[in-house]
Amino acid sequence: MKKNLLCLLFIICAVTSLYGQNIRISGMVSDEKGEPMPSVNVALRHIDSTFVAGCVTDSRGMFALRQLEVGDSYLLQVSFMGCVPQTIRLDNVEKPMEVGTIVLVEDAVSLQGVTVTASNVMKKVDRQIILPSQRQVKASSSGYELLAHMQLPGLKVDGVQQKVSTVGGGAVQLRINDIQASVAQVQALRPEMVLRVEYIDNPGVRYGDTDAEAVVNYVVKRPQAGVMGGFSAINAVTTGFGNDNLYLRANYKLSEFGLDYYISYRDYDERYVDETQTFFFPDGGQRNRVFGKVPTAFNYVTHTIEASYNLTKQDKYVFNALFTEEIEDYPHNDMGEVIREAGKPDLYSMTLAENYSRIPSLDLYYRLFLPRNQHLTMNVVGTYLYSDYKRDYRESGEMGGEPSSQYAYATKGKRYSLIGEAGYRKDFSQVALSAGLKYTQAYTSNRYTGAVDEAVNMHNSTLYGYVQLQGKWAKLKYALGAGMSREAFDRTGEGYTFYTFRPMLTVAYPVFKGANLSYVFNTYPTLPSLSALSDIRQQKTDLEVNRGNPGLTPYRSYNNRLRLSWGNRIVNAQLQGSYLHQKNPIMQQVACVAQPDGSYLFEYSQDNQKRFSQLNGQCYVGVTVVPDLLSVSLYGGVNRFESRGREYAHDYTAWYAGGSVSLNYKGFTFYGEMGNRYRSLFGETLNYGEETGTVQCSYQWKDWNAGVGMLYPFSSTSRTGGYKLLNKLHQSKSWTYIDDNARMLYFTLSWKFSSGRKHQAGDKTMNNADRDTGIAM
């Protein structure tokens, strides 16, 4: 009897255990490149949609749902902001289940209307992806202002003069939906249309044939109305200073039409130079000259007109056509000075310079979407550049008097160029493969008259191909690429052909939660400019002459960078070190050349010297002091330069620092930025960059934004920049002043409108341009 009872009890327990067994469902979530996605929402529901359990993925993209009933059927839902949500049906789950890797793909539409309350940052192997916060969007009225409020590490943003550079003054390429954007397009960009910003501070081999040290790509949703437009204006009160633009967009069915106009002008009555010069002659003599300040006019105006057309069939193709006309007019780029020299009467020098150019261009782009996550892109750009440059230097015993010496010349130039590029990309489950080919063919014809009477005709071509592989191995993220280029230049039978190999390696590893350690190596060539290659001799003064060097050859640079970054919702910090080495760089060459009459001329040219290196250490800290209200960023660093020529050796150490503050309360916004001069050495010249200083307060009301600000608020005089020449034959130091910029009060005003039907224009992923006149100035 007892045995029977024990058997019955055992059977009951077994059955009860079977039906009460706890099972788990687990898996991993990654993006379309195979990288784990943390903080993804995972929900489990019954077939009738009633909620069962939920969680979020961890830092490795892993998730696990426990304590689930045996034999039930479920719906597993995975979602993340900006991605297409995934739903998986799981029928009759009777044992622990591993669902494997669930891939989420980006969906720009899903971000429309989403409110981001803090800047979400996702770190990729080659870039940071940042979602602008609601505060940053409301505080901004243009693409420049949005970038300033986002306070990205390593960038300096001047929303007033509409310039973006690295802290070290390097070039930053701005793009909108992966199209290289003009100043007008960035200024016309509506912040509320920006879905995210991709900050590429390590441009890969795709950008290998450019001088960009960083790339900022605004990913935007296209105009959401049948017609939209607006204007923005930044104008000074008492100074000739303005940056203004108008824009209009309209769409019909699959088409979108666009029109942009941008004008930038400066009109200064008083620009002057403070300079000292010392010349050392072979016979042991020397001349010391001090240049006194003589206020002279400086003004220019730039017009940009852009007409665009876009035809898009979603997931099929994108066609984009852009016609651009740029007009630059510098009627007065003048400079006056009083030359004081011991034992000689004062001389008055005046340099009158004019420059006018027109650059029409046509840009045609086509993108074809192929099956299995592939796409093909093609881009053709044709450009015509006309330039007219005049320079007249004269010295006289009195201001405006009969010149005792005069050197004048003029140059008219034409340049024709055609750029073609094709690219291919294939996304696999764990790896992304991209490859491309770009070809440039150009012809330049410059005619010099006056003191120089010569015609210069030049042909140049560039062929560049690249391939890149990007993926992940365990926790290690990597990008490996290589580019090969052929550079050719010909001037009446003289020239060069240069082949270069451009490898690139990037690796990144998460050392601990929130922290990432990355290393970058790349090598690239630098070509001599067309003007430097021309064998033109141009007299500057009675003692100085500029000369080109057709014998210049391209040189190679090697760059290494190690960075440790850490961040959360409150703090974002970076500590990095880098080393740049250049072999046989093109740097200055100064010679004292005897003349037939027994006098001497100091000849300035360029030549391939021995080497140049730069060692850098930099730190950045950004802090959200009060969420949705106040954020502060600070940066600082040090550079060690070593410049080695065949006849000189110079070393220089320079520190730099700066920061910005962004404050937003209701409709009011305050922004301020300060930074010291970025000093650098190259060749035999110490360059003193421009200081940074801006404060601005604005108010947003509906579709209007008005503000007031001040440029260089803590300076009574504005030194725009300077340099110091360290040559053993000629030593000089020069500063340029524009006092109108100091404490310059300005006003901003912008307005926007939209109405009508929706249109979703496709994105263009490459853009090419040519702006090299080849003129020696």
| Per-residue model confidence as pLDDT tens digits over 588-635 | 999 998 888 888 899 999 999 999 999 999 999 999 898 878 999 999
**Range of 45-59, 115-129, 245-259, 708-722 with top mean pLDDT:** 245-259
In this prediction, residue 767 carries a pLDDT of 47
Query: Could you tell me the CA-to-CA distances from 487 to 100, 160, 381, 527, 583 in Å, in that order?
Result: 49, 38, 19, 8, 18
Apex 412 CA angle, 411 and 414, nearest 5:
135
Q: Is the pLDDT of residue 670 over 70?
A: yes
Instruction: Determine contact, residues 102/83, Cβ cutoff 8 Å.
Output: no
Q: Please name which of 179, 331, 321 lies closest in space to residue 258, comparing C-alpha atoms.
A: 321
Q: Is the pLDDT of residue 71 over 80?
A: no
Q: What percent of the chain has pLDDT over 70?
A: 89
Q: Is the pLDDT of residue 216 over 80?
A: yes
Instruction: Determine contact, residues 68/44, Cβ cutoff 8 Å.
Output: yes
In this prediction, residue 431 carries a pLDDT of 85
pLDDT in tens, 174-188: 888 777 788 888 888
- If DSSP codes are grouped into helix, strand and coil, which group holds residue 646? coil
Separation CA 305–CA 300 (nearest Å)? 17
**How buried is 255 (Cβ within 10 angstroms: 0-12 exposed, 13-18 middle, 19+ buried)?**
middle
**Dihedral sign, Cα of residue 510, residue 515, residue 521, residue 524:** positive
In this prediction, residue 107 carries a pLDDT of 55
Separation CA 142–CA 253 (nearest Å)? 28
Pick the residue with more confidence: 758 or 145? 145
Tokens of 67: 């304590």
Q: Confidence band (pLDDT; 50, 70, 90) for 134?
A: confident
**How buried is 71 (Cβ within 10 angstroms: 0-12 exposed, 13-18 middle, 19+ buried)?**
exposed
Over range 5-26, report the average pLDDT: 51
Domains and CATH numbers, the chain: 20-106 (2.60.40.10), 111-220 (2.170.130.10), 234-244+258-755 (2.40.170.20)
In this prediction, residue 115 carries a pLDDT of 40
pLDDT in tens, 371-385: 888 889 999 999 999
Over range 128-133, report the average pLDDT: 82
In this prediction, residue 21 carries a pLDDT of 52
Separation CA 321–CA 307 (nearest Å)? 8
Q: Is the pLDDT of residue 690 over 90?
A: no
In this prediction, residue 223 carries a pLDDT of 55
In this prediction, residue 12 carries a pLDDT of 38
Query: Could you tell me the CA-to-CA distances from 535 to 40, 409, 460, 546, 594 in Å, in that order?
Result: 62, 15, 16, 10, 19
pLDDT in tens, 279-321: 999 888 889 999 888 888 889 999 999 999 988 887 788 898 9
In this prediction, residue 48 carries a pLDDT of 59
Instruction: Determine contact, residues 116/183, Cβ cutoff 8 Å.
Output: no
In this prediction, residue 658 carries a pLDDT of 93
In this prediction, residue 428 carries a pLDDT of 81
Q: What percent of the chain has pLDDT over 90?
A: 35
Give the least confident one: 390-394, 453-457, 510-514, 586-590.
Answer: 453-457
